[in-house]
Amino acid sequence: MLRSPILRLASGLVALATVAAVPAPAQARLQCVTYARANSDVQLSGNARDWWGHADGVYTRGNAPRPGAVLAFRASHSMPMGHVAVVSKVIDGRHILISHANWSRPGMVERGVMAVDVSDAGDWSQVRVWYAPTGSLGMRPSSAFGFIYPKTETASNAGDRTSDNG
């Protein structure tokens, strides 16, 4: 018995809806802290918002970007856990390339994306970061603590603006 094209389409849609309703297996999403630990010599734990405090007395901290340093963002309404990213290249005092996870999309890894210091003082306290969904720098700045330097870098070569106090 032949069915009409409409009936075949309807039964195909019902079958598709049934398949789509079956939950997909849970997949672990890469978080920014996991990415930063795996891709830098800064080995801290806890939420990204806590890395700046956890680095106190363990790593040198400052506000001058250096390759291999971790840029620590403050918690905000849109980022309640904060964020961390690894500096991959310094272009100049106000422009760097960073690599990080979980910024543009949940679990997404982005390598070598632009971050720009938009603070009045040039101290990296306000940063705009490349945002893939818009294909541009983010619409609003994000607050940052500064940079956490790997132990292989000393305070003397981290720049004159380096400090150990927040």
Task: List per-residue pLDDT tens for the chain, 166 residues long.
Answer: 444 444 343 334 333 333 333 333 344 688 999 999 999 999 999 999 999 999 999 999 999 999 999 999 999 999 999 999 999 999 999 999 999 999 999 999 999 999 999 999 999 999 999 999 999 999 899 999 999 999 875 544 544 444 443 3
DSSP state of 26: P
Q: Which of 97, 128, 101 is nearest to 114 (CA)?
A: 97
Residue 25 is assigned to a structural domain of this protein: no
Q: Which of 85, 59, 37 is nearest to 154 (CA)?
A: 59
Q: Which of 109, 85, 97 is nearest to 33 (CA)?
A: 85
Instruction: Give the torsion sign (CA, 61, 143, 94, 83).
Output: positive
Is the pTM of the predicted complex or chain greater than 0.85?
A: no
Residue 45 is assigned to a structural domain of this protein: yes
Residue 108 is assigned to a structural domain of this protein: yes
Using alpha carbons, list the distances in angstroms from residue 56 to 27, 109, 130, 153: 34, 27, 28, 15
Residue 79's CATH number: 3.90.1720.10
Question: Can you read off the two tokens belonging to residue 39?
Answer: 């891709």
Residue 4 is assigned to a structural domain of this protein: no
Residue 9 is assigned to a structural domain of this protein: no
Q: Residue 14: CA atoms inside 13 Å, Cβ hemisphere, count?
A: 6
Which ranges constitute the DSSP H helices of the chain?
A: 5-21, 32-38, 51-55
SS percent in the chain: helix, strand, coil, step 5: 20, 30, 50
Residue 22 is assigned to a structural domain of this protein: no
Residue 12 is assigned to a structural domain of this protein: no
Residue 64's domain spans which residues?
Answer: 32-163
Total length of the chain: 166
Residue 27 is assigned to a structural domain of this protein: no
Split into its structural domains, the chain has a count of 1
